[in-house]
Amino acid sequence: MKIILEIEGLKKYYGRPGNQTKALDGISFQAAEGEFLGIMGSSGSGKSTLLNCIATVIQPTGGKIRMQGADILALKGEKLAEYRGKKIGYLFQNFELLDHMTGRENILLPLSLHSVSGKESQSRLTRLAEYLEITDVLEKFPAQMSGGQKQRVAAARALIMNPGMILADEPTGALDSKNAKTLMEKLAGLNREENATILMVTHDSNAASYCKRILFIQDGVIFHELRRNLPDESQRDFYGRILNVMAQLGGGSANVL
């Protein structure tokens, strides 16, 4: 098992001493290549903050983040751009597609930004589009796509560079249950068949049941971890265990487990 992501004592405090929000207050965990790791926790527990620290969108107050052995908090200039553009792929709740570009142009945008050339990417695009069932919307603009199609186009954009890790923040948050199920089946399939490493934040116990392991965070710390017992445990049974933890979370008690 090859460790791809190492987080050690990660802290993010917002505001000034005296009026501080400790969004992350000492988070440590590791993710291996090929993991499908979920992050769950109630609203305001620090999930997006965690993902945004890994994506280098925000600077943590303290702690370490290593991706494929590199200290990402020390990256600058070209190396930082390479990390953001090639090593990670980001999937947002609200798709974040560019309205004036077609599906195809949106998906290929990372390539032009990082001057990666053509042929291989074109065939990757064709395969991804087929797999994600978006071949027939590639020439459409986002306004002409359904929510589910938009999110699958966004998934293709996140995957086109073949990043080491996909970071997804509530990817099913804006989807109805049918489209959410389709997206989760596609992500799980990529994880299973292409060994894609995925770190996904979600509120949704259903979406989380596709993960192999889930970290529950509350008040900026990890307070519980669930691992699906593969290959024996059914997704349904895992879902049941997730609901149990979430029920206790809802009660606001972090020390009952």
Ligand X SMILES: Nc1ncnc2c1ncn2[C@@H]1O[C@H](COP(=O)(O)OP(=O)(O)OP(=O)(O)O)[C@@H](O)[C@H]1O
Q: Which residues bind ligand X (CB under 6 A)?
A: 14-15, 21, 23, 41, 43-49, 203
Is residue 167 within 8 Å of 55, Cβ to Cβ? Answer: yes
Residue nearer to Mg ion on the CB measure, 48 or 191 = 48
Distance CA 90, CA 51 (A): 9
CB of 47 to Mg ion, least distance (A): 5
CB of 118 to ligand X, least distance (A): 37
Binding status of residue 48 toward Mg ion by CB under 5 A: yes
Residue 33 DSSP class: T
CB of 121 to ligand X, least distance (A): 32
Is residue 153 within 8 Å of 134, Cβ to Cβ? Answer: yes
Binding status of residue 202 toward Mg ion by CB under 5 A: no
> Which listed option, ligand X, Mg ion, none, makes contact with residue 14 (CB within 5 to 8 Å by class)?
ligand X
> Which listed option, Mg ion, ligand X, none, makes contact with residue 160 (CB within 5 to 8 Å by class)?
none
Distance CA 171, CA 186 (A): 12
CB of 46 to ligand X, least distance (A): 4
Residue nearer to ligand X on the CB measure, 16 or 119 = 16
Binding status of residue 45 toward Mg ion by CB under 5 A: no
Quick one: tokens of 75? 């990256």
What is the per-residue burial (b if ≥16 Cβ within 10 Å, else e) of 165-199? Answer: bbbbbbbbbbbeeebbbbbbebbbebbeeeebbbb
- The residue ranges that bind Mg ion (CB under 5 A) are 48
